[in-house]
Amino acid sequence: MSIRLPKPSYRGKKSLEECIIERESIRKYDKRDLDLVTISQLFWATQGKKGYKRTVPSAGAIYPLELYAIIKDKGLYHYNIKVHSLDLLIEADFSKKLAKASWNQVFIGDAPLNVVICANYSKIQQRYGYERGLRYSLIEVGHCAQNLHLQAVALGLVSVPIGAFKDEEVRMLLVIPEYLDPLYIIPVGYPK
């Protein structure tokens, strides 16, 4: 099943400067679900298309990142950049399992949305070699995550970057191919 996301808005209610100054790492979330308009905006900001390009820069326009969403009480989804949709992979609540795989950071299980950013290093290393490809992927994931955090603030949401997790457990939980490496988990929700 695929959920076609609404067209994103290109004009926000807050200035970029306001979003930068207000951004902070918050680990407590209200129980409210995020609607599809909000989820659409978040995913568009992280890797959305604008013409033939995307909202974040990528070395050689290779774009080695893949995004997954764990929506509380709904399931595991893959973000389909080409058509701006979420493709359902497994219908089940993975929030608590993701928290456990993240060294028991319980708040991850409380977030209505967890975005997991993964990289396909080999995709970019084919062109730039091992070291440079790795570096470019890590730079890109930083751009992607920052866009997500700032978009969250613009929408009245809070988030926190998570790098502490057991890679293999997260990979198995997401049922992702071996060529993808999970790099970041970002819980997002309304502030408590």
Instruction: Kindly report, residue by residue over 177-188, the tens digit of the pLDDT.
Output: 999 999 999 999
Distance separating alpha carbons of residues 103 and 176, to the nearest angstrom = 20
* Fold type of domain 2-189: NADH Oxidase (3.40.109)
Distance separating alpha carbons of residues 59 and 43, to the nearest angstrom = 20
Q: Where are the domains of the chain?
A: 2-189
Look up the pTM and report it.
0.95
pLDDT in tens, 3-46: 999 999 998 999 999 999 999 999 999 999 999 999 999 999 99
Using alpha carbons, list the distances in angstroms from residue 18 to 23, 120, 128: 8, 33, 37
